Amino acid sequence: MTASIDVAARRRRPQRYLPLQVLLGFLLVYFLVPFWWVIVNSSKDAAGLFGGGNALWFADDIDFVGNLRELFTYSGGIYARWLLNSVLYAFVGGLGATALAVLAGYGFAKYRFAGRRFSFAVLLGAVMVPSTALVIPTFIMFSGLGLTNTIWAVILPSLLNPFGVYLMHVYARDAVPDELLDAARVDGAGEARSFLQVALPLMRPAIVTVLLLSIVATWNNYFLPLAMLSDNDLYPVIVGIGQWQGVASANNAGGTSLWSIIIMGSLVSVIPLIIAFLTLQRHWRGGLAIGSLK
Question: What local confidence, expressed as pLDDT, does residue 3 receive?
Answer: 53
What confidence tier does 277 reach under pLDDT thresholds 50, 70, 90? Answer: confident
Inside any domain, residue 60: no
Q: How many residues does the chain have?
A: 294
CB 153 within 8 Å of CB 147: yes
CB 102 within 8 Å of CB 168: yes
Which residues, including other chains, have CB under 8 Å from residue 283's CB and lie 6 or more apart? 204, 205, 208, 209
Inside any domain, residue 58: no
pLDDT in tens, 148-206: 999 999 999 999 999 999 999 999 998 899 999 999 999 888 999 999 999 998 898 88
Given a cut of 50, whether residue 214 has pLDDT beyond it is yes
Inside any domain, residue 132: yes
**CATH number (domain holding residue 239):** 1.10.3720.10
Inside any domain, residue 32: no
Inside any domain, residue 49: no
Given a cut of 80, whether residue 251 has pLDDT beyond it is no
Higher pLDDT pick, 79 / 289: 79
Question: What local confidence, expressed as pLDDT, does residue 268 receive?
Answer: 95
The crossing angle, in degrees rounded to 10, of helices 162-175 and 78-110 is: 40
Domain range enclosing 98: 72-285
CB 113 within 8 Å of CB 178: no
Which phi-psi region, left, alpha or beta, contains residue 52 (left: φ > 0; alpha: ψ -120 to 50)?
left
Cα separation of 243 and 225, whole Å? Answer: 12
pTM: 0.84
Which residues, including other chains, have CB under 8 Å from residue 23's CB and lie 6 or more apart? none
pLDDT in tens, 37-71: 999 999 888 888 887 788 889 888 888 899 999 99
pLDDT in tens, 26-39: 999 999 999 999 99
> How many domains does the chain contain in total?
1
Inside any domain, residue 106: yes
Cα separation of 83 and 185, whole Å? Answer: 46
The residue among 176, 159, 217 whose CA lies nearest residue 151 is 159
Phi/psi for 257 (5° steps) reads: -70, 125
Question: What local confidence, expressed as pLDDT, does residue 132 receive?
Answer: 85
Inside any domain, residue 123: yes
pLDDT in tens, 89-148: 999 999 999 999 999 999 999 999 999 999 999 988 988 888 888 899 999 999 999 999
Inside any domain, residue 260: yes
